[in-house]
Each structure stands twice: as C-alpha cells, then as structure tokens.
Structure 1
Amino acid sequence: MSSITISAVRTRTSILDKSLSKGKGEVSLSCFALLFSELVQYCQNRVYTVPELQNKLAELGTEVGNKITDLLVLREKGGKREIKLLTILLFIKSTLWKSLFGREADKLERANDDERTYYIIEKEALVNKFISVPKDKGNLNCASFTAGIIEAVLCNCGFPAKVTAHWHKGTTYMIKFDESAIVRDKQLEDR
C-alpha cells in the first residue's frame, strides 16, 4: 500500500486580490514633476493659445478625476458617496488632496455674494511648482489640470459644477455649482 501525502496548497494571490486600502500611494516628486511637465509640453504642442492649453489640461484632469472618484469612494468611504454639498467639499479639501498631493488644501471658502460659489485655495500648487512659463504665456495656470479633477469628482458625486483655476492668494479653484446642486442640498437640509 502506498501512502498519500496531503500538503497545504498555497494559493497564488494577484494584485487584484489585495485590499485597496493597503500600500503606500506615494510617488516620487521628481518623477511626478517630469511626467507632468511632459504632459504640459504634449498639450502645448497641440494648441495655439493659453486658454486652449488650459482647457486641454482641464480635460485631461477630468479623465483622472473620473477614475479617482470610484477609487477614493471605495477606499475611503466604503462605497458610500457624499450627499451634502459641504461634506463633498470637505472630502475634496482633505481626502482627495491628501491622495493627490500628500497634504490637505490650505483653505475652503464660500463667496459672500453668491451661495453657488466656493473657493479652494492652495498657496503653492504642486502642478505649478516645476513649470517655467515663458513670458508670452505669462497668465498660464497649469492648475487647470487639478480644476478638471475637482470638477469630475463633484459631477460624479452628483454635484454638477464648473471649476476653474485662478491666480489669487496663490492658486484659487473657483467652484461654481449648478443651481440643481444648491436646490438638492437645501432639500436635504429641510428633511
């Protein structure tokens, strides 16, 4: 009679089997700077004006924002999306910013004269830090890329808005919500 030996079978794990919340999400700053400057140059070679370049950067940021929304909602919120306007803005100021830049944004403010307008202020935007802007393109703000990310996250979470980047107190992201987002938020407060 021959004996049969039973041993524990090791299962192979793939990257798809690993938890989303594990692991460091850090990227080398020099690698990011090189990649982003190449992205700006790529866009610059396909447009003729500064506004076109900023729109192109915002479009690419929107693509990133579309992908990162699901990842962050799954990883940080257990699949639950924010339903209140202020909480989604705080989520962007803290969680999104930490995921993208390793720290929170500097400030979140509401416009005094318009309930639909909010500002996220960043004293020194990482996307502008390593870009040297020629004199003929002096008003270029590469933070349009980040504005595209913010806009995509807001729209994907049910808060339609237009986000633009401006030079004011460093870099200011002006978030102009669609009227439907304000009405929905007020309805939630009344409940």
Structure 2
Amino acid sequence: MSAIQRQKSSNLDKPLSKGKAEINVATFALLFSEIVQYCQNRVYTVPELQNKLSELGQHVGNHLLDVLFLRERGFKRETKHLQMLLFIKGTFWKTLFGKDADKLEQANEDARTYYIIEKESLVNKFISVPKDKGSLNCASFTAGIIEAVLNGANFPAKVTAHYHKGTTFMIKFDESVIARDKLLDGK
C-alpha cells in the first residue's frame, strides 16, 4: 500500500471535527450582502424578497440539521418542542452566530407561539435598506433556517421575522406539536 493510499484511508477513518465556533464577520457580511442582492434582482416587491431569503434560509437549515445533531448531540434528537427551542436558542445559535440568542419567550395568549429575540441580528447589521424597501427585514433568511430545522426535526412550524425589541423570530407551531407534547407528558 502506497503512502497516498494509507493517507486517504486514514483521512476517511477520522471522525468529523467540531470545527471552529467562530465566524469571520467581514466574510459573512460580504457573502450575505451578495445573497440579498442576488435575491433582489429576481423579485419585484419586499414580501417577495423576504420570501426568497426565507427559501434560501430553508435550504441552509435543511443541511445544518443533521450536521448539528451529529456533532453536538450524537444523533440524539429532542422529543419536546420546548427542549428543541432551547437547543435552537443555545447550541444552534452559537454554531451560526457565535453566541446564544438573547431571549426566548412564549406568547401569553397562544401556547403554540414562541419568540426568539435577538437585539442586534447579524444579518441586519450590515445591510443598508433603501427607502423604497423600508420594511425589508433580511432576518427572513434566519427565519427560514429556523423553520427548516424545526420542520426537519419533526416540529412543524411557521417562522417569520419582525422588528420588535430588535429582531424577533415568531415561531408558530402546528397544533400537532402541542398535542404530541401533551401525550408525552401523559396529560
């Protein structure tokens, strides 16, 4: 066996590394501004642009889900929605943005609705919104990632981004998620 063959087989046998928990903000800002510009050139309205960003975020979220559970949890998945939200607020957010999300709150009037609050969203930090697109919230990209992760982990939900106390991600779970949790709790 040649040295190259030994090296190839040994590289394949190595476990996945955890990688760095750091992001290069300048690189991210440049890449994300190009993503926004790419999407903007393919739509006509702000809601269409936000939907396009959300769709791209969902692609990212679909690919992140398995990697996160493999690296961080050894394939152990959450069974209750609150534990999944805490995973997103902590481990998931730290993987994407280098820190935990600022807050997780439940809506007073609706057991299916939760809010993840980020005082200064990284995706909005470096984007200058033109006056004609004043309501644009580029955090729709992050909302798409969150939605894909929740849906892929069997917690069907719709996630939207809003300006409120910074950037607020409103997570509205499907009724089946709450019903499943009640069954798991024996209520």
TM over 0.5: yes
Query: Counterpart in 2 of 1:12?
Result: 7
1:12 is paired with a residue whose SS is helix
Query: Counterpart in 2 of 1:167?
Result: 163
Offset at residue 15 of structure 1 (A): 5.5
Query: Counterpart in 1 of 2:41?
Result: 45
Cα distance in 1, alignment partners of residues 36 and 62 from structure 2: 20
Offset at residue 16 of structure 1 (A): 4.4
| Percent identity over paired residues | 73
| Residue 55 (1) aligns with residue 51 (2) | yes
1:11 is paired with a residue whose SS is helix
Alignment counterpart, residue 71 of structure 1, candidates 67, 91, 95: 67
Query: Counterpart in 2 of 1:153?
Result: 149
1:114 is paired with a residue whose SS is coil
2:21–2:94 CA contact under 8 A, matched in 1: no
Q: For residues 29-79 of structure 1, what are the alpha-carbon distances to aligned partners after superposition, in whole Å with 9 as ceiling and x for unaligned?
A: 101000000000000000000000000000000000000000000001101
| Residue 184 (1) aligns with residue 185 (2) | no
Paired residue total: 184
Cα distance in 2, alignment partners of residues 49 and 16 from structure 1: 47
Alignment counterpart, residue 136 of structure 2, candidates 134, 140, 144: 140
Cα distance in 2, alignment partners of residues 23 and 104 from structure 1: 17
TM (norm. structure 2) is 0.93
Q: Could you say what the CA RMSD is over the residues aligned between the two structures, in angstroms?
A: 1.8
Unaligned runs of 5+ residues in structure 2 are none
Offset at residue 190 of structure 1 (A): 1.1
Query: Counterpart in 2 of 1:81?
Result: 77
| Residue 33 (1) aligns with residue 29 (2) | yes
Cα distance in 1, alignment partners of residues 130 and 4 from structure 2: 62
Offset at residue 23 of structure 1 (A): 3.0
Offset at residue 189 of structure 1 (A): 1.1
Quick check: which one's helix share is greater?
2
2:21–2:98 CA contact under 8 A, matched in 1: no
2:23–2:97 CA contact under 8 A, matched in 1: no
Larger radius of gyration: 1
| Residue 93 (1) aligns with residue 75 (2) | no
The amino acid that maps onto 1:150 is I
After superposing on structure 2, the runs of 4+ consecutive aligned residues of structure 1 that deviate more than 4 Å are: 13-16
Offset at residue 22 of structure 1 (A): 3.5
Unaligned runs of 5+ residues in structure 1 are 1-7
Offset at residue 9 of structure 1 (A): 10
